[in-house]
């Protein structure tokens, strides 16, 4: 196993864990009631909020990318996202973090007490969809590499 393969399996494991976490909560306590219910995703360094579907969408990307890298990466031809694709992914990750923490960032001037009492009222879907698209670029890049390695079929 290469470090890239291990990273791919780690992405799959985290993505699966995150999705099954929400499934477990639904079965155990009947929450979330919908995929648009708000969730506190993390509390450090600031509170992160988002609708349940947002981390599930990111988890689906992690599973897809991890699967491509672990299952279709062969010793004869290694597939891995290019530097440009990884740079776009990093931009998407940072943009998604901003979307999740935007309410807390806006209230930072009021100190910890204000941040503790902030509740989100609106999720910036347009910006999140841009972030999600940027995070998907490495998957597109790796898919193109994989499909480019397949023998082309000639028409009879």
Six-digit token string for 30: 């009947």
Residues 143 and 68 sit within 8 Å (Cβ to Cβ)? yes
Q: Note if the bond before 99 is cis, omega within 30 degrees.
A: no
Crossing angle of helices 125-149/53-71, nearest 10°? 10
Per-residue pLDDT, 156: 43
Domain ranges of the chain: 3-149
Per-residue pLDDT, 114: 81
From the list 2, 134, 1, 12, the residue with the least C-alpha distance to 63 is 12
Quick: pLDDT tens for 10-67. 999 999 999 999 999 999 999 999 999 999 988 888 889 999 999 999 999 999 999 9
Four-CA torsion 52, 58, 63, 69, nearest 10 degrees? -170
Residues 53 and 32 sit within 8 Å (Cβ to Cβ)? no
Per-residue pLDDT, 73: 75
What share of the chain in percent tops pLDDT 70? 93
Neighbours of 138 (CB within 10 A): 25
Kindly report the pTM of this predicted structure: 0.88
Averaged pLDDT for residues 108-136: 89
More confident residue, 86 or 108: 86
């Amino acid at each position: 196993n290469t470090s890239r393969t291990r990273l791919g399996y780690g992405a799959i494991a985290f993505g699966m864990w995150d999705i099954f976490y929400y499934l477990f909560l639904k079965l155990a306590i009947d929450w979330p009631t919908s995929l648009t219910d708000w969730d506190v995703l993390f509390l450090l360094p600031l509170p992160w909020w988002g609708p349940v579907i947002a981390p599930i969408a990111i988890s689906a990307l992690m599973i897809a990318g991890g699967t491509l890298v672990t299952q279709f990466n062969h010793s004869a031809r290694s597939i891995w996202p290019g530097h440009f694709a990884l740079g776009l992914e990093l931009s998407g990750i940072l943009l998604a973090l901003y979307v999740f923490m935007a309410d807390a960032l806006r209230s930072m001037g009021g100190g910890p007490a204000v941040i503790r009492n902030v509740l989100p009222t609106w999720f910036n879907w347009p910006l999140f969809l841009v972030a999600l698209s940027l995070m998907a670029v490495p998957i597109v890049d790796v898919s193109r590499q994989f499909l480019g390695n397949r023998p082309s079929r000639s028409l009879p």
